[in-house]
Amino acid sequence: MARVLITGSADGLGKFAAERLVKTGHEVILHARNAARGRDARAGVPGARAVVVGDLSTLAEMRQVADQANEQGPLDAVIHNAAVGFKESRQETVDGIEHVFAINTLAPYVLTALIQRPARLIYLSSGLHQSGNPDLSDLNWTRRRWNGMNAYSDTKLHDVLLALAIAHRWREVYSNALEPGWVSTKMGGANAPDDLAKGSETQAWLAVSDDAAAKVSGRYFFHLRERPASPAARDRARQDELLAKCAEMSGVVLQ
C-alpha cells in the first residue's frame, strides 16, 4: 500500500486518479484550494485518507500545503496535477506573480522543495509542451503581449523541465512527466477527443506500480508508454536556469 498526495484533486483528472488509487487499496491524500472545495473532494472520494487545503496561486499557501502534507507522514508519491488552463487572462497573484506560471510551474517547484522527499514524483504536462517557449527570460509576462495558450504551453514545458531536473539531481527518486491527453474535463472541454478513462491511468500507474516500466526516472509518458519530450526539456542548462528562477521568485531553494 502506498501513500499518495494528489494536488488539484477536488475534480477532474486528479479526482479520477484518486478514485483509481483508493479502489486498489492505496492511501490517498487529496488537495483542494479552499475549505469548500475540500469538502467536495472528501465527498467525491470518500475512501481518501485526508484532504489538505491551500490556494496554490500564493506562496504562503503553497507552504501551508507542504506543511499539511508533511504532517500526514512520509509520502510514497506526489502527483503534481493542479493546474489552470489555456483560456486564462493575465492576472497577478498577491505575490505579484503571473497566476498561470504561479499555479502550473512555481507551485510544483515549491512543493517539491518543501515536502519530505517521496520515492516517486509525477508531473502532469501536456502535448502542448512541445510548442512551449524555452526562453525563460520573461516568466512573468511583463514584456510579452499576453497569450493564454502560449502561457499554458510554456508552463507545461516547465513541468517537464522540472521533472527531468529532479531526476538528475535526486537519483534515488523516480521523477517523471506525462501527458494525460486532451480529455473532457472542466479544463479540456466537452468536445475533447481523447479517452477520459485513460486520462488518469498513467499518473496512478507511475505513482504505485511495481512494473519495471514504471520504476524509471527522467522519462515522459503518454498512456503508459514512453514518448519523446521536447528536446528543450532535456537541456541541463535550461533545467538549472528554471530551478534558479523559481528559487529567486519563491524564496525557496531546492536542495
From the list 15, 109, 123, 152, the catalytic residue is 152
Known catalytic residue at 174: no
Q: What span, in angstroms and rounded, lies between the C-alpha atoms of 197 and 81?
A: 16
Annotated catalytic residue 123: no
The count of C-alpha atoms lying within 13 angstroms of the C-alpha of 54, restricted to the half-sphere facing its C-beta, is 20
Active-site entry in 15, 123, 156, 220: 156
Over the stretch 47-77, which tens digit does the pLDDT of each residue have? 999 999 999 999 999 999 999 999 999 999 9
Domains of the chain: 3-250 (3.40.50.720)
Kindly report, residue by residue over 198-208, the tens digit of the pLDDT.
Answer: 889 999 999 99
Sorting pLDDT into bands at 50, 70 and 90, what band is 185? low
Which H helix or E strand runs over 52? strand 50-53
Q: How confident is the model at residue 186 (pLDDT cuts 50, 70, 90)?
A: low
Per-residue confidence band for 183, with pLDDT thresholds at 50, 70 and 90? low
Given this model, what pLDDT does residue 198 score? 85
C-alpha span between 208 and 23 (Å, rounded): 13
pLDDT tens track for 82-107: 999 999 999 999 999 999 999 999 99
pLDDT at 188 over 80: no
Ordered strands of the 3-6 beta sheet: 50-53, 27-32, 3-6, 77-80, 120-124, 174-179, 220-222, 225-226
Q: What is the maximum span of the chain, computed from C-alpha positions, in angstroms?
A: 49
In sequence order, which residues have a C-beta less than 8 Å from that of residue 137 and are 6 or more positions away?
none
pLDDT at 126: 97
Buried b / exposed e along 221-231 (16+ C-beta atoms within 10 A): bbbeeeeebbe
**pLDDT tens column, 189-231:** 555 546 667 889 999 999 999 999 999 999 999 999 999 999 9
Mean pLDDT of the chain: 95
